[in-house]
Structure formats: C-alpha cells, structure tokens
Structure 1
Amino acid sequence: MLYARLIPVLGLSLLAACAQQPAHNVTVEEQSDCPQQLHVGQHLIVSLPSNPTTGYRWAIQDSAGGVLRSLGPEVYTSSDNGQLLGSGGLSTWRFQVFAPGSGRLRLTSQQPWEPEAEPAQVFDCAITVN
C-alpha cells in the first residue's frame, strides 16, 4: 500500500525535475546566434556552410577547451545528397559542455596551403557556462 502512494509523488517529482532542465542540444548556424549561454551537460552543435571543393576548409583555432569537449571530428554533409559535383553543404561539429566558465569557439575558413593568408570567413562565438 505504501508503494501505491509513493508512485504518484515520485512521478511528479521526476516531471518537475525534467521541466527545469535546459534543452539538451543547442544548435548554432550563424554568427548572429552568438554569444551562447550554456549549462553543464548540454551539447553544442555548430553547423556552418561549407564547400570543400573550392579548397576552403573550416579549422578550429580556439575550441573553448576549458568548457567544451569535442565529441568527434567535423562531419561534412552535402546539401544535395552528393548529386551535384562541387555543390556546397554543411560542416558540423559537436561539443559537450563539461565545466562552468567561459571561453571562445573560433573557427576560420581558409585554404590549408596558405596559412599566412587572411581567412575568407571567421566564426567567433563567446561561450559562457553556468
């Protein structure tokens, strides 16, 4: 009988706890999505327009290593499912927020064989973790 009374109370407690949790995944697709306010345990997904056939590649210059941990390498997906040679797509990185603090996630798009040249594009996002 005691268990029958505890089940509704535990259920409501779990529901309340879930309602207070921040969204697990946060997706950033443009510079205007920054700065980002995150919480420990969330995943940050960064997706930027990319076209490796032009020779330009995104590279991480600053990974906000004190607050973000990479969940793997860049993943490139073609916007047309590979049907049109040379078409653009998206480069995506996934990070886990693991510690409170702040940092910068900075990526640059440039041709790897010209490291001294100015980047064609820069993505610079301030990250704050509570």
Structure 2
Amino acid sequence: MTAVYRLLPPLSLALLAGCSTQSTTVNLQQQSDCPLSLSTEQQLIISLPSNPTTGFRWVVRDAAPAVLTSLGPEVYSNPEESGLVGSAGKSTWRYTVKQPGEGHLVMTYQRPWETEVAPAQTFDCTIKVK
C-alpha cells in the first residue's frame, strides 16, 4: 500500500504537466481583434456574420498557410431561435496553429458570379505566431 502512495506525487506532477501543455482555443469574431498573436498548437475559430440566401458567401483568399492549417471547410449555422427562413447566421472556420511565423488571413464577402463588383466586406487579419 505504501508503494501506491509513493507513486502518487510523480503521477500527480505528470498529470499537471500534461494539463499545462493543452492547447487553448482562440475565438475571433471581428476584425477589430486583429492583429492576433497566437502560440503553436493553439486552435483558432473564426465566426463571421453570413447570409448565403442573399447569394453572398465568404471566400477565403489567403489562409495564412505558413502558420495555419485548416481543420475543415466552412460551416454555416443560423440561430435556432430565429425561426425565419433566410435569416442571417454565421460562417465558421477552424484552424490549428502549426509553427512560428507571420501570415495574413484574408476573406471577402461577395457574390461569386459578380466578378466585376468589389466585395461587400473584406476581413484581413495579421496572424503572428510565437
């Protein structure tokens, strides 16, 4: 029984060390939070207002590939409580930070078929990774 008690302190330290190195998630919802400083192994979740029923879509122009890795395609969701067909929602992208460096995350909000029209919105965020 005393052998078990001797193992508890080293095991506790190992568990605490594992907890301290867990990655954290950063949620970005507006360009005013930029530039953004991140650390490696963090996750970045970007959520922007969107309403694809109007024909407008967010198009990723530059995903900062030197510092970010995409965890999948855009996911669109609208608030359940709205109950309105065609109501606005959010488009969300998930990234993991892969290495130190700097990059730009650039997205435009536009109708894909209107190639000669300037985007309705542009999201441009400098990403700095330590």
Normalised TM-score (structure 2): 0.88
The equivalent of 1:98 in structure 2 is 98
1:12, distance to aligned residue in structure 2 (A): 2.9
Structure 2 counterpart of 1:46, which letter? Answer: I
Instruction: State the alpha-carbon separation in 2 of the partners of residues 5 and 117 from structure 1.
Output: 70
Structure 1 counterpart of 2:125, which letter? Answer: C
Structure 2 counterpart of 1:18, which letter? Answer: C
1:10, distance to aligned residue in structure 2 (A): 3.2
> How many correspondences in the alignment?
129
The equivalent of 2:37 in structure 1 is 37
The equivalent of 1:18 in structure 2 is 19
Assess, with a 3 A threshold, how the Cα gap between structure 1 residues 59 and 81 changes in structure 2: closer, same or farther.
Answer: farther
Tell me the secondary structure at the aligned position of residue 115 of structure 1.
coil
**CA deviation digits over 1:78-108, x for unaligned, max 9?**
1236731110000000011111111011110
**CA deviation digits over 1:29-77, x for unaligned, max 9?**
0111211111111110000000011111100000000110111110000
**CA deviation digits over 1:100-119, x for unaligned, max 9?**
11101111001100123111
Instruction: State the alpha-carbon separation in 2 of the partners of residues 33 and 3 from structure 1.
Output: 49
Assess, with a 3 A threshold, how the Cα gap between structure 1 residues 80 and 3 changes in structure 2: closer, same or farther.
Answer: closer
Structure 2 counterpart of 1:95, which letter? Answer: Y
TM-align CA RMSD:
1.9
5+ residue gaps, structure 1:
none
1:13, distance to aligned residue in structure 2 (A): 4.5
Normalised TM-score (structure 1): 0.88
Structure 2 counterpart of 1:12, which letter? Answer: L
Identity score, percent = 53
5+ residue gaps, structure 2:
none
Could you list the runs of 4 or more consecutive aligned residues of structure 1 that deviate by over 3 angstroms after TM superposition? Answer: none
The equivalent of 1:70 in structure 2 is 70
